[in-house]
Structure 1
């Protein structure tokens, strides 16, 4: 796999914001200077160097440029340049985690070189993890930027033992990038201080002096983690021409020239949505009854609760099991009469609020565990929930070529890898494998038959091979170890911890790599991520070192498919890209904490919509940018007050956001209408709690509720004609089946004989050593392919058993068929037994199917399909495959399985003749001798002013029987019988049924002119 990159407008805006700060700077190639040779000979090849040209603009000119940029983005205006770290020019670029800030500052380097000729850049990072991530980004974007700019950048990681790279950095006239982590120049260790020492192996020069001679442009990645005294004192020694700081969270403010914060990123659909599955414990007074409410499902009859409880088995062993429980179920009886469950009879299951009530007054919420609950129990529940969320997401995305990854954060290696155990598995690894295999078996049994490719993929990966741990490695013992976490760094110091996550990112994203679950240390923060992390689990104690937002940030990047394409189609981006967090606290607590942390980072956003805020802001017209006058600002303010869109403190009210979402905002005054979109953008830039990203409950998957079309009399009439259940009868004698099968085998059975190849060769006259090693000492002189009676398989076959199994007949019936065959035809068995069995089974099955259809009869029963099948089992639907909201369907959206179905829906929904239609739910089944059959569509047509035609349609890409699988053809033929026989008994105007390739074919069959 190869990750692909494309030009994104929002990233281009971030680049231009930086580059335009220096508009007016003349284009100047690298300024030549004499490199300090140290003790080297004066004729050294590295004598001439090229440094960044000095800034030709005055401080006032740069400040004016910055103000122009801030004005066009409606950012707070800078009164002056903010000097820092010995540098006059300090630019802050705010970009939310996952939006590609590394890509942006790499592109900024190319753009600065193109416009101004600057070519020496240093990227400073706070940790090795970030350093490795940046270096990987430079590698994988190299080709992309070469195509865009026609040149390559030379980049390297600073290493005090490879100082010759500094010579190249200085002497090369092209774009040169040095990546350095702050420990390399701000730590106290002797090796780290070498950058300031005169070194014998560097011609008695100080590396810092050689670097500073280039007047580099310094880029700080995650500057909030580089605010220590040692770092701030060291930065001036690099003599930066300017400093650019990129982060989602700027603690120290300089001149902010770009903002893409958490709200912008979410609203522009540049990052994943977040869903949370909270896990919490709650003590029950006076009882030690263990209970865990996993969730609530909608069923055909009533909601069903998935509850884990202790059950006494027949062996006397007490084991915790998950049971699907209904209203009035008695847990005392279900547990095997365990006393702690007396009084626990379910009195209510509330799907809307995700709660279960018991007759003893106890109420349990989804995600709550009560009673005898240990920390170990909670961790097992979290691991189970993570695997379940992973499977749900994987089922949805596998067909789109998107690999799903799940990440566990843990606080010590021993929980994952325990070297005191014979198999070296820690507690979490052991629990994971146990839960994975149980859930995989359950999940596979529930998958639909049309998920054949995913079933095969999932079945082929076992629990032991699909998880891996990524930690530091002790080089002495070659064992995983906890990272060396300092009081400030909170990061690992070992590059080996990040190989697969960072260096082999493409391999991890490939289906060929079985790793799907990653266990890593909770110290991992900024610096690494993977676009396809869809589930994240916090298997660790809560602490204040790492915020929820930092943890969630590891999975916010939009996913990619197997072709390396980013899944960023705005129409479906948030149906595909949802990050599920399995938290060790309640849903409410986690979401509240996360949103509070997000709100704290929005410091640059105004809090009040006042006249003063709007006045002076810039809007764009056909004639260029225009500033909002005080008079227009007063109009905006009065508009908000008049419509109660602000409160008494001038903060934006929730009513404004509700009206905007519903499309019912009051009209703007006429003087503001030419700038309407931009006026609303200004209003939206004023922060209010109602703007915070909506965090979904991961236990309540998106559903597709029935709409008013379902209650239309035309659909209810159609449903009443087809919802009758039935049983089938097939009456034929075996003798007739035997005769037909014998005749078909004698006339149709043709078996390809086994073949073998004979090659003749002779040893070469002269043989070299290389030929001997390569096995080329002989020369082939003749090749002959033989077939027929001289070749027989030596394997013994159960011929009767195999054919009986394939054709679903008794051994006796198969024996009668085979013994009735012409001997010469049966003799083909010896020529190729495998082919004989396959062909004989096929021919016999076809004859049986023909007779079944000829003699098939359906008898209706009193039972009918309940309308609940339209609402049952909606979880896990792939809403990335839905189109726009529909007009005539009984649901707002249709989850289609193919392009044929998508085109079919588009025409059904725009047809004047179609009153209402439905994609029949999977629960609607017609019994047939070759398995249950689920038709595709039920459609009600209106002809003229009165007459209605009711139709059930099956959509297929081709009508050719040769291209339909045998089992499909048989089911379709049985369905024709079903609707013909049952339909006539239900109504004098029965429902029609047929197979169609498209809407035009359907209209031909219906007999309605288009």
Structure 2
């Protein structure tokens, strides 16, 4: 595969902006640019003429005054959003400057090995096409101290020369370029001095990555550059900004993929016991710390993730937060590590949190991230392969050991587990071979700043083929011949590597990412390519659900402020009030368009629907015959399961050395005791009665019946909290068990007419079997159910509808709104020429199991069980199916119901 050379307008504008700096300059020739054996870059323009040109270019490109940063230096910025072809742009700029002005000496200065390799890969891919376009074959090479002859050619040749150089190659006196006693020196000068006599134009790739330190600036100045050109999406230092292609403009023009942010979090996040260091108050005697944790807001009656007060050694987090879940968390040590120079807080239970990190159930979070990344990957695979596009997913990890460790590579284990799970979902329950699971994984773990591979270098060396394919051979990686689809990377890969066919990125970090958000998502922003190396763009008219170039970001917990951080970065870069591209959330926004839903007019069809509606339209009321003795018995049984950790009392000795400054007290030790808390039995009765609605008599019977009163004595607040929760669960179960529904004689009146809605987006066309020509949906599962039910080949469906929002079934825990009504017809064996209609009401959820407490809340389960009794009370054949995840499950259950009735 070879990527096809394109000349999009934004790249040509950026190229011509640089060419315009030298407008009016005399062309370099052998006569005016050669001195003895050295061929150099020379400029016949004065400084004033150059900077007049720069000001003209800035005006032509419409760069705002606040963003130009004009300075009287031969130094300029070209700002291009990641993924818009920055490397190819500056390489073509060198071709254009040579073609128009004879400028022949260019140094591409890069901050790292990955970026250096990316430059060479780009040139090799487009070399033939660029030669055809410019009729020039340049000498492009990576500086290698063992191949000094290439450097000599660079100095002497009048042909176009492009040398790729890292800062580490020349920023020390010990480097070969700076040595003064070598036999291979050019004109008896150190190589750096000879190189400086060529006055190269320096193309700085990602200059914010270490090229603007004082040391780096001094070494770059020794090259005596004719001009410095800075290329980046995130400049830290801006000078003479010639051209600016910001994220908003890139997004608007469709030059990068659209974004989806798929957040992964738990609904009961407080159960993760998340902890974060938010502030440290250092002291030579007693260090104190503020920790973000789940605190009880007594006025609101709920937990909130908020900052604590100042905490010290031996403080117990449960005591300080009102959250008994933290009872095991007592601070044993607060210190600053000499290794990572970060603050650490250690607890008596062995847990530890580090400054910038979050202590939570990371493995569960990782599993959810991987599950959704892989699910999106398979969805992309199904939609992209017919277009000849191979999709890739990128997974960032913090510690290589979490993937490579022979003892417990937890991320690798979680990935393979979730891969098999999702693979089966998309392949009719089949499981992949172990060899296929292994083959789909690739990894690249970048070098540290010390030049060593992160964690174990030998592990990367042993897998050199995979390593090289990801870093060096993007073309093979993009072909269907390569089995690699998921790439694991250390966070160091965040800058310097990208791939046009990355459609998903997950960040499985243990700590807050140190990379900028824009750099991270930039790894997958490029427009994708097909098997012929051609970029595949989406038309403006392409519906959102059919767009090819969609990038899904699956952030970890540290991305809770993803959108805010992204916006802050943008405003720091481009100023407040600019047009910020908004990442698309999984849940769609509302557009102000008006949509009309037309009722199907076919009379035969409507007769079927009217018969169905006559069945399900009958209203009911309910009565509850609560069995108090059963409620008390079950509550006693449930409360007896409560187990509370020991109540701990801390005794601490502090000696005051200065009565005027108690902060200087000296710590002399502490002891821990298991004690018994003071309590009042009436508190327990009052608390339970108030929060459950039970009368005092019932509560007293429950308390009298429990056999674990010693658990209450250990920690009354915790016991009461758990007791209230368990009794409420029993109440809910009993409500559902004892409820009875009775028809009222009233019905839900159906409006047989068209209707319109403003701001309506979440609908799908249902012209075949839908009561209306369009059907609303509340989730992707509902959308898919409607799509399957409406297929013209689905001949068993006579009609279906999404129940209107006014169709509500009363329950003691809130009104219930079912999802779909479906009418099926089957041929009777007893009467081969006669069809019979069957009526179904369907509830769509993310599971087929009513006992799946992960997918269903207790109230959802309760309302479904109430609906079962409501439809049974109608006394006619309206079959209720809940929960249902997809149409095929419904079809199987419906057929089973019909078979059980003996009709087919």
Q: What residue number does 2:746 align with? A: none
SS in 2 for 1:27: coil
Shift, 1:30, TM fit = 4.6
Matched, 1:429 2:429: no
CA contact (8 A) 1:93 1:244 kept: yes
TM-score normalized by the length of structure 1: 0.49
How far, CA to CA, are the matches of 1:385 and 1:108 in structure 2?
Answer: 42
Shift, 1:408, TM fit = 0.9
Q: What residue number does 1:521 align with? A: 490
Shift, 1:701, TM fit = 7.1
Q: For the structure 1 residues 708 and 723, does the alpha-carbon distance in structure 2 shift closer, same or farther, using more than 3 Å as the test?
A: farther
Q: For the structure 1 residues 375 and 725, does the alpha-carbon distance in structure 2 shift closer, same or farther, using more than 3 Å as the test?
A: farther
Q: Of 167, 188, 196, which residue of structure 2 is paired with 1:212?
A: 196
Which runs of structure 2 are paired with 1:75-224 in the superposition (5 Å)? 75-76=63-64, 82-83=71-72, 88-187=73-172, 190=174, 192=175, 194-202=177-185, 205-224=189-208
Q: What residue number does 1:414 align with? A: 401
SS in 2 for 1:280: coil
How far, CA to CA, are the matches of 1:284 and 1:703 in structure 2?
Answer: 28
Which runs of structure 2 are paired with 1:340-739 in the superposition (5 Å)? 374-419=361-406, 421=407, 426-445=409-428, 462-472=436-446, 481=455, 499-543=468-512, 545-571=514-540, 572=542, 575-585=547-557, 589-603=561-575, 687-688=577-578, 691-698=579-586, 700=587, 708-712=595-599, 714=601, 720=606
How far, CA to CA, are the matches of 1:72 and 1:160 in structure 2?
Answer: 43
How far, CA to CA, are the matches of 1:67 and 1:234 in structure 2?
Answer: 28
Shift, 1:202, TM fit = 3.6
Which runs of structure 2 are paired with 1:827-976 in the superposition (5 Å)? 890=774, 921-924=787-790
CA deviation digits over 1:258-296, x for unaligned, max 9? Answer: 1111111111111112111222357677x7999xxxxxx
Q: What residue number does 1:266 align with? A: 251
Q: For the structure 1 residues 597 and 195, does the alpha-carbon distance in structure 2 shift closer, same or farther, using more than 3 Å as the test?
A: same
CA contact (8 A) 1:131 1:180 kept: yes
CA deviation digits over 1:195-251, x for unaligned, max 9? Answer: 444422446541112211222111111111211122100011111111111111222
Which runs of structure 2 are paired with 1:972-991 in the superposition (5 Å)? none
How far, CA to CA, are the matches of 2:559 and 2:453 in structure 1?
Answer: 37
CA contact (8 A) 2:15 2:93 kept: yes
Q: For the structure 1 residues 517 and 94, does the alpha-carbon distance in structure 2 shift closer, same or farther, using more than 3 Å as the test?
A: same
SS in 2 for 1:113: helix
Shift, 1:720, TM fit = 3.3
Q: For the structure 1 residues 149 and 925, does the alpha-carbon distance in structure 2 shift closer, same or farther, using more than 3 Å as the test?
A: closer
How far, CA to CA, are the matches of 1:79 and 1:406 in structure 2?
Answer: 37
CA contact (8 A) 1:132 1:495 kept: no
How far, CA to CA, are the matches of 2:561 and 2:129 in structure 1?
Answer: 43
Q: What residue number does 1:276 align with? A: 261
Q: What residue number does 1:50 align with? A: 39
Q: For the structure 1 residues 81 and 602, does the alpha-carbon distance in structure 2 shift closer, same or farther, using more than 3 Å as the test?
A: closer
Q: What residue number does 2:10 align with? A: 10
Shift, 1:434, TM fit = 1.3
SS in 2 for 1:263: helix
- Which segment is superposed worse, 496-505 or 97-106? 496-505
CA contact (8 A) 2:600 2:606 kept: no
CA contact (8 A) 2:107 2:165 kept: yes
Shift, 1:16, TM fit = 0.9
How far, CA to CA, are the matches of 2:136 and 2:233 in structure 1?
Answer: 30
CA contact (8 A) 1:525 1:554 kept: yes
SS in 2 for 1:13: helix
Q: For the structure 1 residues 155 and 889, does the alpha-carbon distance in structure 2 shift closer, same or farther, using more than 3 Å as the test?
A: farther
CA contact (8 A) 1:199 1:205 kept: no
How far, CA to CA, are the matches of 1:182 and 1:139 in structure 2?
Answer: 23
Shift, 1:921, TM fit = 3.3
Shift, 1:497, TM fit = 9.0
Matched, 1:242 2:227: yes
Shift, 1:33, TM fit = 6.8
Unaligned residue ranges in structure 2 (runs of 5+): 275-324, 326-358, 613-751, 754-760, 766-771, 778-784, 799-826, 828-832, 838-904
Q: For the structure 1 residues 26 and 376, does the alpha-carbon distance in structure 2 shift closer, same or farther, using more than 3 Å as the test?
A: same
Shift, 1:11, TM fit = 0.8
Shift, 1:49, TM fit = 3.9
Q: For the structure 1 residues 229 and 33, does the alpha-carbon distance in structure 2 shift closer, same or farther, using more than 3 Å as the test?
A: same
Shift, 1:709, TM fit = 4.5
How far, CA to CA, are the matches of 2:387 and 2:68 in structure 1?
Answer: 51
How far, CA to CA, are the matches of 2:423 and 2:69 in structure 1?
Answer: 61
How large is the Cα RMSD of the aligned pairs? Answer: 4.7
How far, CA to CA, are the matches of 2:531 and 2:796 in structure 1?
Answer: 33
SS in 2 for 1:12: helix
CA deviation digits over 1:65-87, x for unaligned, max 9? Answer: 1121111222245999635xxxx
How far, CA to CA, are the matches of 1:394 and 1:703 in structure 2?
Answer: 28
Shift, 1:465, TM fit = 1.4
Shift, 1:463, TM fit = 1.6
Which runs of structure 2 are paired with 1:767-786 in the superposition (5 Å)? none
CA deviation digits over 1:558-592, x for unaligned, max 9? Answer: 11111111122442497211211111127752222
TM-score normalized by the length of structure 2: 0.55
Shift, 1:707, TM fit = 7.4
How far, CA to CA, are the matches of 2:368 and 2:446 in structure 1?
Answer: 27
Q: For the structure 1 residues 58 and 436, does the alpha-carbon distance in structure 2 shift closer, same or farther, using more than 3 Å as the test?
A: same
Q: For the structure 1 residues 89 and 194, does the alpha-carbon distance in structure 2 shift closer, same or farther, using more than 3 Å as the test?
A: closer
How far, CA to CA, are the matches of 1:246 and 1:141 in structure 2?
Answer: 19
Q: What residue number does 2:341 align with? A: none
CA contact (8 A) 2:397 2:509 kept: yes
SS in 2 for 1:199: coil
Q: For the structure 1 residues 934 and 108, does the alpha-carbon distance in structure 2 shift closer, same or farther, using more than 3 Å as the test?
A: farther
SS in 2 for 1:224: coil
CA deviation digits over 1:756-800, x for unaligned, max 9? Answer: xxxxxxxxxxxxxxxxxxxxxxxxxxxxxxxxxxxxxxxxxxxxx
How far, CA to CA, are the matches of 1:718 and 1:598 in structure 2?
Answer: 59
How far, CA to CA, are the matches of 1:505 and 1:32 in structure 2?
Answer: 42
CA contact (8 A) 1:276 1:587 kept: no
Q: For the structure 1 residues 562 and 892, does the alpha-carbon distance in structure 2 shift closer, same or farther, using more than 3 Å as the test?
A: farther
SS in 2 for 1:921: helix
How far, CA to CA, are the matches of 1:288 and 1:133 in structure 2?
Answer: 41
Unaligned residue ranges in structure 1 (runs of 5+): 36-46, 291-339, 341-371, 447-454, 485-491, 608-686, 727-865, 868-874, 880-887, 894-918, 936-973, 975-979, 985-1010
CA contact (8 A) 2:69 2:238 kept: no
How far, CA to CA, are the matches of 1:398 and 1:143 in structure 2?
Answer: 28
How far, CA to CA, are the matches of 1:472 and 1:74 in structure 2?
Answer: 39
SS in 2 for 1:563: coil
SS in 1 for 2:77: strand
CA contact (8 A) 1:25 1:55 kept: yes
Q: What residue number does 1:65 align with? A: 53
